[in-house]
Amino acid sequence: MLADKILILQESIPYLLKGALMTIKLTTFSVFIGIVLGTILGLARVSKNKLFNNIAKVYIEFFRGTPLLIQLFLLYFGLPNLGIDLGGYLAAILGLGLNSGAYVGEIVRSGINAIDKGQMEAARSLGMSYFQSMRYVILPQAIKQVIPPLGNEFIALLKDSSLVSVIAVKDLTRQGRLIISRTYESFLIFAAVAVLYFIMTFIMTRLVNYAERRVSISD
C-alpha cells in the first residue's frame, strides 16, 4: 500500500512541478502589472487633480471590494459575451495583475504619505517640478517604506493564484486536481501541492527579507 502511494507520488511530481512553474510565471507577470499599475494609482491618489484622484479611488475600491474569483469570472466568462475572448492564461494574468494593482496602489499611497511634506517643499524650492520632485526625491524614499508590505502582497498573490485553476489554467492547484481525478489520492496529492506552495512562499519571503536588509544597509 505504501509502495503504491510512493509510486503515485513519484509519477505525479513532474506534473506538479510543471504546474508550479506555471504558477511562478503567472505570479511574475502579475507582479509586474501590479507594480506598474499600482505606482500609477498611488501617484494618482496623492495627486491634487481631482479627476485622477477620483478615478484611482473608484478603481481601488472596486477591485479591493469584490472577490478576486468574481473578477476572474468576469474576464474569462463575461468578456466573451462582449466579443472579447482572452483565453485562460491571459485572463489569469490580467485578473491577478489588475487586482494586485489596487492593493499596490494603496501601499504606494501610504508610502508617499509617510514621507515628510518638507521633502516636497524643499525639492520645489530648488526649482524642481512636481513630477521631478516625485521621481527624484519622494519615490526613492517611499520605495524603502513600502518594501515590507509589497513583499507581503506578492506572497499573498502567489497563494491567491491558485484561484485561476477554476478557469482551466493548469497551475499547481489545477495539476493537483487533475492527478486526483485519475488516482483518487486526495490527501497525498494535496499534501504535495501544499508543500510546493510552502517552498515557493518560503523562497519569496527570504528574497523580501534580503531586499529589506539591503535597503537598511543603504541607509
> What would the pLDDT profile of 41-67 be if each residue is shown by its tens digit?
999 998 888 999 999 999 999 999 999
Lookup: cell for 193: 501541492
Lookup: cell for 185: 489520492
> What would the pLDDT profile of 160-182 be if each residue is shown by its tens digit?
999 999 998 989 999 999 999 99
What is the pTM for the complete model shown? 0.88
Q: At 118, which amino acid appears?
A: G
Residue 193's pLDDT is 95
- Determine the distance from the C-alpha atom of residue 127 to the mean position of all C-alpha atoms in its chain, rounded to a whole number: 37
Q: Residues near 91 by Cβ (< 8 Å), separated by ≥ 6?
A: 72, 75, 76, 79, 167
Name the nearest CA neighbour of 31 among 23, 21, 20. Answer: 23
C-alpha span between 34 and 99 (Å, rounded): 8
> What would the pLDDT profile of 68-77 be if each residue is shown by its tens digit?
999 999 999 9
Cβ-in-10-Å burial (0-12, 13-18, 19+) of 81 comes to exposed
pLDDT above 70 covers what percent of the chain? 98
Residue 214's pLDDT is 77
pLDDT at 219 over 60: no
Name the nearest CA neighbour of 157 among 95, 216, 212. Answer: 95
- Domain of 210: which CATH number? 1.10.3720.10
Q: Residues near 216 by Cβ (< 8 Å), separated by ≥ 6?
A: none
Q: Which domain holds residue 109?
A: 2-218
Q: Tell me how long the chain is.
A: 219
> What would the pLDDT profile of 104-142 be if each residue is shown by its tens digit?
999 988 888 888 777 777 877 877 877 778 777 777 778
Number of domains the chain contains? 1
